[in-house]
């Protein structure tokens, strides 16, 4: 009995050796093969967590130069990341470059305002899980007269000495891209011979306050010049107004870059006296006063 058991054990040992040899490939042991499989999966099949830490703009100077690229920073190397994994809202993405924990993504055609933010969202590249997305980053734009911007067209950029000029900040006047009216009176009939309480001003930076005063007297309607200008909602903005005498002249000087003006008279928000206000002819450029019941065109503006 003991002899038979001894032979049985020896046969089982031999069969086990044969089994492991048969399962090996080109001389590799099962143990070595298993390690190879795990190592391979760790490189290509197992997701690695990477944190999208931050994004910064490069190449931008407020009002003077567009941001040209975004620097993306991670806590590890997302080796398989491509531009296809990145979505930018507020600008057009370009080429992705770099390696390691930082990448540079070129951008162009920025649609948000100067000093506003764009959003950067990253989807998981092959073999990696990205957390910390989306991130936002402030970008800058170069501003110029005639540029479509914030609901209209830039008509004037403040210069040192102008009312409204702030050192280190780019600001000015945006004009609507087309007229709000081909002909409308300056004031409602009941107020066409009545002076505004507190009067109005003619200089840069006074159009909005002038418009507020006119509306306070005439009511919130759109059947007179200032009321119609304030009713403008271009770009989703509600702070449009009738330009002052000097602001209207800025529009005349740069009328070709703004576009859409007729060779006709346009109202300003600057009152002359109880029965008249300043108007400008966009053919010859001269300014004159006309009765408040005169029919003239309206082009709304806003500040930025």
pLDDT at 188: 98
pLDDT at 169: 87
Task: Enumerate domains of the chain plus CATH numbers.
Answer: 48-138 (2.60.40.1220), 148-303 (no CATH)
pTM given for the model: 0.73
pLDDT at 168: 85
The total of other beta-carbon atoms located within 10 Å of residue 55's CB is: 23
pLDDT, mean of each 10-residue run, the chain (304 residues): 45 43 43 38 60 97 95 97 98 98 97 94 96 97 95 97 91 97 97 94 98 97 97 98 98 97 98 97 97 98 97
Q: Which residues contact 272 (CB under 8 A, 6 or more apart)?
A: 278, 289
Burial of 122 per CB tally in 10 Å (0-12, 13-18, 19+): buried
pLDDT at 36: 36
């Amino acid at each position: 009995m003991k002899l038979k058991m001894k032979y049985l054990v020896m046969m089982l040992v031999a069969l086990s050796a044969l089994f492991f040899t048969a399962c090996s490939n080109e001389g590799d042991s099962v143990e070595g093969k298993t390690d190879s499989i795990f190592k391979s999966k760790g490189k290509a099949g197992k997701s690695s967590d990477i944190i999208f830490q931050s994004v910064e703009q490069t190449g931008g100077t407020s009002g003077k130069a567009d941001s040209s690229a975004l620097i993306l920073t991670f806590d590890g190397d997302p080796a398989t990341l491509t531009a296809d994994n990145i979505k930018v809202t507020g600008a057009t993405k370009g080429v992705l470059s770099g390696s390691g924990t930082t990448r540079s993504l070129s951008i162009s055609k920025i649609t948000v305002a100067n000093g506003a933010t764009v959003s950067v969202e990253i989807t998981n590249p092959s073999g990696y899980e990205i957390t910390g997305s989306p991130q936002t980053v402030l970008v800058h734009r170069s501003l110029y007269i005639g540029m479509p911007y914030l609901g209209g067209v830039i008509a004037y950029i403040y210069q040192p000495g102008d009312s409204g000029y702030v050192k280190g900040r780019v600001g000015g006047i945006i004009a609507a891209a087309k007229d709000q009216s081909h002909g409308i009176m300056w004031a409602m009939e009941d107020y066409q011979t009545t002076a505004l309480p507190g009067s109005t001003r003619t200089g840069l930076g006074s159009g909005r306050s002038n418009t507020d005063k006119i509306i306070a007297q005439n009511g919130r309607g759109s059947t007179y010049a200032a009321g119609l200008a304030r009713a403008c909602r271009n770009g989703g903005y509600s702070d449009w107004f009738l330009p002052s005498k000097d602001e209207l002249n800025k529009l005349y000087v740069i009328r070709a870059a703004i576009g859409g003006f007729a060779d006709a008279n346009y109202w300003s928000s600057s009152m002359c006296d109880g029965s008249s206000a300043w108007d400008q002819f966009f053919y010859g450029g001269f300014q004159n006063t006309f009765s408040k019941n005169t029919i003239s065109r309206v082009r709304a503006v806003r500040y930025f």
